[in-house]
Structure 1
Amino acid sequence: MQAIGFKKSLAIKEEKSFEEFELPIPSPGSKDLLIKIKAIAVNPVDYKIRQNSAKDTELAEPKIIGWDAVGIVEAIGQDVELFKIGDEVFYAGDITRPGCNATYQVVDERIVAHKPTSLSATEAASMPLTSLTAWELLFDRMNITKEKDAGKTLLIIGGAGGVGSIATQIAKQVAGLKVVCTASRKETSDWCLKMGADAVANHQDLVSECEKAGFIAFDYIVDFVNLNHYWDDMVTLIKPQGHIGSITGSDKPIALNKLKNKSVSFSWEFMYTRPMFSTDDMIEQHRILKNIAELLDDKKIIPTTNTVLNGFTVENLKLAHEMLESGTAIGKIVISF
């Protein structure tokens, strides 16, 4: 099979930052599906792993990354129960296994769902990783429900990115929240409003911009950009007994003590936790993606594909990484096969 990967972590403009390899088609394990891939999406986690996986050494075997795909089931493991050969599926995969930057991939059926029937492959490919991340953060980590939280306020830091784009829609359509997104350029502000944001605040002066928009404090705040950079703003803007969540990690300690007087809760979200540790509830990712597919087919949410690159090539994968590394990408970048 054709695969595109790397043996050393290099700057994206370097000739061998990505190379094409011919590898054997993998065989599915007992709960696995063998997928023939039709389209993939690229996410910030991709370039972060590319930059850091082989900094000081050259790998003996190529590393194949990528965690967002749509394809057709070509073969199934002996214990597969949810799918059959020929099914069209979408999924984000498992960071501990080879990724989707290849023409074939094996993936555990418990983190896969049937592709939304109303979407093209390029539209559907934009959805799995970001949808799982947003859904898990809002509902599994922060325990938001429509019954107790409809009408409450949510601040999304990084509203025009891949996760922000779908988090806005899910928060509005599933939880009934009032959503404010951060953005600083006209095109990103317009995108946030297209995704359903009630208001947009410029993150360059976040507290005063939120106040100008009529929001002095928020019940919930989620960070999709840089936790350390916005921490003090979040501490100021969160309501007493509110909840803050983040997906971005931190390169230095977070001052959680600043949340004490307001009795504010804090949660991490890492979409790969369930498959990475084979948790008892790993099949929840199948169920979440099934819910997302239904919302898409019912037109309650829309796909977040904003750029499509035609052709699975080294050049297109490099271009996608360049666009993400620039920090100016809006929505999702998809590569069609």
Structure 2
Amino acid sequence: MKAIGFKKSLPITDAESFIEFQTEQPIPTGKDLLVKVQANSINPVDFKIRESAAKDEVLATPKIIGWDAVGIVEAVGNQTSIFKVGDEVYYAGDLTRSGSNAEYQLVDERIVGHKPSKLSIAEAAAMPLTSLTAYESLFDRIKVDPIKDKGKTVLVLAGAGGVGSIAIQLAKKLGNLTVIATASRQNSIDWCKRMGADFVVNHHHLKNDLNKIGHSQVDYILDFVDLEGYWDLMAEIIKPQGHIVSITESSQPLNLNILKAKSVSFHWELMYTRSMFQTDDIERQHEILNHVAELLDDGTILSTLTTTIDGFSADNLKKAHALQESGKSIGKTVILF
């Protein structure tokens, strides 16, 4: 089968940053599905791993990355019970396994959902990783209750990004929260409003803008951009007994003491935790993806697809990574196979 990978961590402009090659088609066992990939989408984790996985060595075999895929089940392992051959599926994969930049991929059925039936392949491919991340942040980490917490405020940092785009929608439509998103460029502001944000504030003067809209403090903060850079400010603007969730890393130890007086809870969110550690509740991701598919099919939430690139090739993968690395992409970029 055709696959695209890399042997060395190189700038995306380098001719060898991605290389096409042939490898054996895998065979499913246990709870695995063999999926014929029809499309995938690009996330920040893609280029971050490409930049770091082979920094100090040249790999003997190209590393295949890619998380987010839509495809058709070609074969199933002998312990599967959720899916059958021919099912249309979507998923975000497992950080520890070979990725979706290949014609065929093995994936544990417990982290796979049924593809939203009313969405195109590209529209569906944009959704798994960001939906899981946003959903887990709101409902597994903070444990938002749409009745008890109705009207509470959530600040979404980087509202126009892939995760921010779906977090705005889930917070508003599913969580019944008042949503404040950050954005600075006009197209990003317009996008956040389209996603359903009640307010859009400029991250360059965040504190002043929050004061202007009458929300100097917020109940929840979702950090999807820069934990270290926002840490002190988040401690200042979070309400007593509030919750902060972050998907980003800090190069330095965080001073948790500044949260103590307010009894603020801090949560990490890594969408891959369940699959990496084979947690007892790993099938929760199957349930979340199916719920998100229902929300997409009935129009409660919208696909965050903005850019579609036609053709599975190293050149097109480079284009998608370059766009993601620019920091100016809105929504999601999908590659159609």
TM-score range, shorter chain: over 0.9
Alpha-carbon displacement from aligned partner over 1:279-324 (angstroms, at most 9, x marks no partner): 0100000000000000001100000000000101111100111111
Show the 5 A alignment for 1:277-296.
Answer: 277-296=277-296
Query: AA paired with 2:298?
Result: D
Deviation at 1:249, TM superposition (A): 1.5
Matched residue SS, 2:148: helix
Point out the more displaced range, 211-220 or 169-178.
211-220
1:66 aligns with 2:99: no
Partner residue in 2 for 1:315? 315
Alpha-carbon displacement from aligned partner over 1:71-123 (angstroms, at most 9, x marks no partner): 00000001110111000000000010000001100000000011000000000
Partner residue in 1 for 2:19? 19
Matched residue SS, 1:81: coil
Show the 5 A alignment for 1:1-337.
Answer: 1-337=1-337
Matched residue SS, 1:148: coil
Deviation at 1:236, TM superposition (A): 1.3
Matched residue SS, 1:335: strand
**Root mean square deviation of aligned Cα:** 0.6
Matched residue SS, 1:151: coil
Query: AA paired with 1:15?
Result: A
Structure 2 unaligned segments of length 5 or more: list them. none
Distance 2:28 2:174 in 1: 35
Q: Which aligned segments of 4 or more residues in structure 1 are displaced greater than 6 angstroms?
A: none
Distance 1:143 1:249 in 2: 22
Matched residue SS, 2:124: helix
Distance 1:255 1:209 in 2: 25
Distance 1:295 1:152 in 2: 22
Distance 2:248 2:121 in 1: 28
Alpha-carbon displacement from aligned partner over 1:143-188 (angstroms, at most 9, x marks no partner): 1111211110000000000000000000011110000000010000
Q: Does the CA-based 8 Å contact 2:132-2:288 persist in structure 1?
A: yes
Q: How many residues align?
A: 337
Seq. identity, % = 60
Deviation at 1:34, TM superposition (A): 0.3
Distance 1:28 1:269 in 2: 29
Compute the TM-score of the two structures, normalised by the length of structure 2: 0.99
Distance 2:287 2:24 in 1: 31
Matched residue SS, 1:149: coil
Alpha-carbon displacement from aligned partner over 1:21-43 (angstroms, at most 9, x marks no partner): 10110111210100001110000
